[in-house]
């Protein structure tokens, strides 16, 4: 489940983001209407041969107004903290610089495996320039060219060799992993603490086996939950922990490890553009989603206020129309106990499997009610549908021509499937595939 994390470090202009993009390749966003979801990427899934992992471009984490060397130093620290393997990038054009030596010293103190790459080695004649880089003390330097895509295979072969043999099974199957994400000050850490303070919550002493060691395990009515930490949930320490990019990175990592993501909104302040972006991450990752409106105690309200706020949420977060909304207060703990059964329901729906026979009945009925669309005289034909995976539920629909499956018809089918099976809180992926 937990994929290894690879971090790219190095001084500015050596080619970190170029290499990051090479490793990650082209990935298409599934939420086109959420601005900024894929722009400015610093964290992304990637694969090499049979290995799946995540890559961080630490160069994309700008650390406020800190001086140049301080920025590089903190980026290297983030790499050490977050990664299983570090790719240290230098440049064959400039040779070894004092900034490279500083990065080397920081990396050297950590126990994380480091693979040294010399970038901008654009042609074979330049290969002789890599020998100086042995002096950095990380063994054989790998000559690469991000611009031309050279040497990356050898580099990645060396990287994946350092991956742990088998990812440890972090927690059992029936444990519900979740996190709170949201803008600063919406009340994430207050919710975290309020849950731990609930009367029937029994916090487990057993530390998670995860390297982060920031998971909080507890039981409530015989169900075990794991709360996964995001940036700033605990005491703030390092300077970089207050930067936005670092918070985003931590949120993305928490989302990835969670079954259910609670998107926290500030009921007092209302919805902001940043909320939308954050919610988009949860949706894109295919996790179960609950929208938690916090600070409801501080809202001036009458009997219409809640419905009006829910309507605003539905207007702003159209891509999350499946997500239930709850109104809570971390301060007074009002309705906080409703979060537990909701987490359970959403988590079950996220992992739900439906029988093909029943699924096909639902689709046959749907088609009878609303005939399939036609395009230039050709009609979409649906032959058969089957659920191919869970978390999130993914359904493949075999058709005569996938081009004929219009977005609106897919939406219609999705709604019929939701009506029939009740997939509250989880996205459903529907894939139209041509039957051979």
- Asked whether residue 95 is marked as a ligand-binding residue, the answer is no
121 is in an annotated binding site: yes
Residue 54 annotated as part of some ligand binding site: no
CB of 257 to ligand GDP, least distance (A): 18
184 is in an annotated binding site: yes
CB nearer to ligand GDP: pick between 18 and 347: 18
Radius of gyration of the chain (CA): 24
Report the residue number, 18 or 349, with the smaller CB distance to ligand GDP. 18
Closer Cβ to ligand GDP, 118 or 323, answer by number: 118
Q: What is the smallest separation between the CB atom of 328 and ligand GDP, expressed in angstroms?
A: 7
221 touches 340 (CB < 8 A):
yes
- Cα distance between residue 275 and residue 266, in whole Å: 9
Choose between 6 and 330: whose C-beta lies nearer to ligand GDP.
Answer: 330
Q: Which segments of 221-327 does DSSP mark as H helices, in order?
A: 244-257, 273-284, 305-316
CB of 265 to ligand GDP, least distance (A): 11
Tokens standing for 181? 């994400």
Between CA 24 and CA 149 the distance in angstroms is 12
**Closer to ligand GDP by Cβ: residue 70 or 401:** 70
**Shortest Cβ 95–ligand GDP spacing (Å):** 14
Residues that bind ligand GDP (CB under 6 A): 10, 12-18, 59, 119-120, 122, 145-147, 182, 184-190, 232, 294-295, 297-298, 329-331
Distance CA 322, CA 379 (A): 29
- Minimum separation from the CB atom of position 232 to ligand GDP (A): 6
Residue 49 Ramachandran class (φ > 0 left, ψ -120 to 50 alpha, else beta): left
Was 296 annotated as part of a binding site?
yes
Report residue 378: phi and psi, to 5°. Answer: -105, 135
Query: For the chain, what's the residue count?
Result: 436
Cis peptide before 392 (omega within 30 of 0): yes
- Asked if 372 and 406 touch (Cβ cutoff 8 Å), the reply is no
To the question of whether residue 21 is assigned a binding role by annotation, the answer is no
Q: Which C-beta is closer to ligand GDP: that of 129 or that of 294?
A: 294
Residue 260, marked binder? no
State the CB neighbour count (10 A cutoff) for residue 433.
Answer: 13
Binding residues: 10-17, 57-61, 119-122, 182-189, 229-233, 294-297
Binding residues for GTP: 10-17, 57-61, 119-122, 182-189, 229-233, 294-297
């Amino acid at each position: 489940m937990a994929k290894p994390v690879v971090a790219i470090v190095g001084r500015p202009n050596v080619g970190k983001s170029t290499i990051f993009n090479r490793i990650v390749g082209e990935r298409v966003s599934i939420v086109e209407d959420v601005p900024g979801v894929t722009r400015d990427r610093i964290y992304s899934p990637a694969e090499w041969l049979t290995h799946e992992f995540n890559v961080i471009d630490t160069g994309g984490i700008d650390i406020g107004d800190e001086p140049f060397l301080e920025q590089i130093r903190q980026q290297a620290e983030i790499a050490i903290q977050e990664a299983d393997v570090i790719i240290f990038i230098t440049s064959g054009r400039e040779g070894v610089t004092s900034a490279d030596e500083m990065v080397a010293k920081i990396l050297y103190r950590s126990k994380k495996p480091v693979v040294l790459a010399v970038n901008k080695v654009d042609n074979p004649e330049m290969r002789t320039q890599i020998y100086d880089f042995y002096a950095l003390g990380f063994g054989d330097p790998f000559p690469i060219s991000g611009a031309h895509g050279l040497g990356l295979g050898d580099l990645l072969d060396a990287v994946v060799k350092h991956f742990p043999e088998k990812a440890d099974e972090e927690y059992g199957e029936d444990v519900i992993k979740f996190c709170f994400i949201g803008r600063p000050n919406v009340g994430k850490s207050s919710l975290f603490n309020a849950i731990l303070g609930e009367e029937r919550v029994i916090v487990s002493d057993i530390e998670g086996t995860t390297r982060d060691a920031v998971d909080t395990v507890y039981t409530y009515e015989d169900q075990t939950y794991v709360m996964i930490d995001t940036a700033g949930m605990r005491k703030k320490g390092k300077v970089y922990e207050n930067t936005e990019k670092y918070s985003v990175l931590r949120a993305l990592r928490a989302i990835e490890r969670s079954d259910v993501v609670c998107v926290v909104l500030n009921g007092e302040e209302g919805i902001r553009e940043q909320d939308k972006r954050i919610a988009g991450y949860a949706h894109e990752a295919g996790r179960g989603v609950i929208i938690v409106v916090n600070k409801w105690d501080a809202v001036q309200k009458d009997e219409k206020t809640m419905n009006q706020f829910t309507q605003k949420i539905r207007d702003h977060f159209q891509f999350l129309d499946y997500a239930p909304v709850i109104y809570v207060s971390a301060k007074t703990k009002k309705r906080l106990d409703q979060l537990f059964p909701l987490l359970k329901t959403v988590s079950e729906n996220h992992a739900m499997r439906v029988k093909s026979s029943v699924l096909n009945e639902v689709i046959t009925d749907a088609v009878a009610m609303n005939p399939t669309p036609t395009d230039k005289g050709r009609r979409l034909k649906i032959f058969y549908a089957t659920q191919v995976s869970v978390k999130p539920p993914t359904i493949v629909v075999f058709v005569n021509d996938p081009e004929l499956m219009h977005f609106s018809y897919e939406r219609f089918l999705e709604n019929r499937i939701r009506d029939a099976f009740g997939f509250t809180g989880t996205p459903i992926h529907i894939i139209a595939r041509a039957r051979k």
